[in-house]
Amino acid sequence: MSQPLSGQRILIVEDESLVAMLLETILEDMGCTPVGPAANIDEGLKLATEESPLHAALLDVNVAGRQVFPVAEALKARGVPFVFSTGYGEGGLPDEWRGQHTIQKPFTEAAVRDALMAAMGVAQV
């Protein structure tokens, strides 16, 4: 299998270390370099603004009791594509973020890869 995302640096914002470790494993298997993982919004914001290069991000919606949207705003401002991951259903996102690429927990490696590729506009191979 080819590795269309090889070499991409992907930010992870996720408060549960085990879930973050799973995402890192999945990203590493795809040839990506995980950035972070950030366990809270402040850390996520810092990485989202300062880390370079940054090609995409995986954002848990509810991070240690806070919502991840400030980090999403910062990424949007930089033009860095991102994918939300959430344990809430489809209705878990507020209206202004509806339609964003989203993966539902628990997720498969294929779901993570497809969502990232769609968000980054990388053609399926």
Partner 1 sequence: MRELAKSGGLPVDLASAFDASPNPYVLLTPDLRIAGLNQAYLDVTRSTRETTIGRPLFAAFDSGPGAEAPENVRQVRASLEKARDTGQRDHLAVVNFSISHTDEAGNTVFEERVWSATHTPVLDDAGQVVFLLQHTTDITELQRLRALAAASGEGNALDLLGGAVIGRAQAVQADNQRLETERNQLVEMFMQAPGFVTILSGPEHVFQMHNATYAQLIGHRAITGKVIREALPELEGQGYFEFLDTVYETGEPHEGRGSKVQLQRTPDGPLETVYLNFIYQPIRDSAGKVAGIFVQGYDVTDTVAAVERQKLMIDELNHRVKNTLATVQSIAVQTARSHTDPKTFAEGFQARLLALSHTHDLLTRSHWEGADLRAILEHETEAHGPHRISLNGAPVGLGPAAALSLGMIFHELATNAAKYGALSAPEGRVLIDWGVADQTRPVLHLTWRELDGPPVTPPTRRGFGSRLIERNVRHDLAGEVKLEYATSGFTAEFMVPLDREKSE
Q: Of the two residues 69 and 76, which places its CB atom closer to partner 1 in the complex? A: 69
Q: Tell me which H or E stretch contains 12.
A: strand 9-13
Q: Residue 93, Cα to own-chain centre: how many angstroms?
A: 15
Of 3-11, 61-69, 93-101, 117-125, the window that binds partner 1 (rule: CB under 8 A) is: 61-69
Which amino acid belongs to residue 34?
P
Q: Of the two residues 7 and 106, which places its CB atom closer to partner 1 in the complex? A: 106
State which of residues 105, 111, 114, 122 lies at the interface with partner 1 (CB under 8 A). Answer: 105
Q: Of the two residues 36 and 81, which places its CB atom closer to partner 1 in the complex? A: 36
Q: Among 73, 89, 65, which residue's Cα sits nearest to residue 57?
A: 73
The residue assigned the tokens 């999403």 is 72
Our CA angle for 121, 8, 111, nearest 5°, is 60
Query: Is residue 110 close enough to count as binding partner 1 by CB under 8 A?
Result: no
Contact 45, 70 (CB under 8 A): yes
State which of residues 10, 35, 39, 71 lies at the interface with partner 1 (CB under 8 A). Answer: 39
Q: Of the two residues 18 and 125, which places its CB atom closer to partner 1 in the complex? A: 18
Give the residues lining the site for partner 1 (CB under 8 A).
15-22, 25, 37, 39, 62, 64-66, 86-89, 92, 104-107
